[in-house]
A = this chain, B = another copy of it.
């Protein structure tokens, strides 16, 4: 769709960027179909698919019945039969009913059929807390899907990355979960290329270079990290890495930085225990053991159920907690 005045002038939000990638991929490849709850006329509850049904018709942008396993399972069937489905799950909490189809079917079909049958689909899922939503609308389940072999997991934090990664995901011959940090959906705008482009899945990005501490994050907490850097009183040079892809992990990027700094802080919203932070910390101690000057430090959600919104900001890692961690790691 042609960009609006606002987009031309002020740039695109994350929502706009995703919408543009969907639009361009649907233009480019008529095997791409969107399915999900309220994705059609309503344009999705976050308006991410706004205008697409109008442009591509109700056969390619399909309002499904209210059933996440149904959405995932039929998307798998569509993909097996040569389409490029892009199912939307309305909130990450509702991945639950679709878990079995995703983990036990989508993720395994290539392996179990020794390549005879494949599932090229991209599952879009808004993720994370901080928007004052009701329960089960604020979780961060990325580690669960990273644990499952056969899935790729992506979580961009900027409009530029979102457009390029979503384009890659849709073109990927295997299932990709594309997590969209809803706290960032409309939090800022960015000028990004209008023409299509891709960003390879599996490459982290150095947001800001530094030499004393490596800080790794992804999704919405990247911005809490940036806030922390602003607040950091000491003269500490922090290298901030936005993972962008959750799985496969860009081990080289994080280890290179960890070897340089010898001190690492990892920040994520999901509960600590068995979160992705544990995997990253373990990789770093495996590969950079002799370079580490301090234990790898995690700043995560607590090992409690994500609270309702009155307490969500106490739960989510914020700049203050991140600053404290940076200071402690620096001083270790």
A interface, CB within 8 angstroms of B: 69, 93, 96-97, 99-100, 103-104, 107-108, 111-112, 135-136, 143-144, 146-150, 247, 249, 270-271, 273-279, 281-282, 285-287, 289, 292, 294-298, 302-305, 307-308
Contact = CB atoms under 8 A, between A and B. Distances in A.
Given A279-B273, A281-B282, A289-B295, A104 B100 contact: no
B305 A150 contact: yes
B93 A104 contact: yes
A278 B274 contact: yes
A289 B143 CA distance: 24
- Copies of the chain in the assembly: 2
B136 A104 contact: yes
Contacts of A149: 271, 273, 302-305
Contact of A147 (B150, B247, B273, B302): B273
A273 B151 CA distance: 12
A282 B277 contact: yes
B273 A247 contact: yes
Contacts of A135: 108, 112
Contacts of A294: 289
A260 to B, nearest CB: 18
Contact of A249 (B69, B273, B292): B273
Contacts of A93: 104
Nearest to A247: B273
Contact of A298 (B150, B247, B282, B296): B282
A290 to B, nearest CB: 9
Contacts of A276: 274
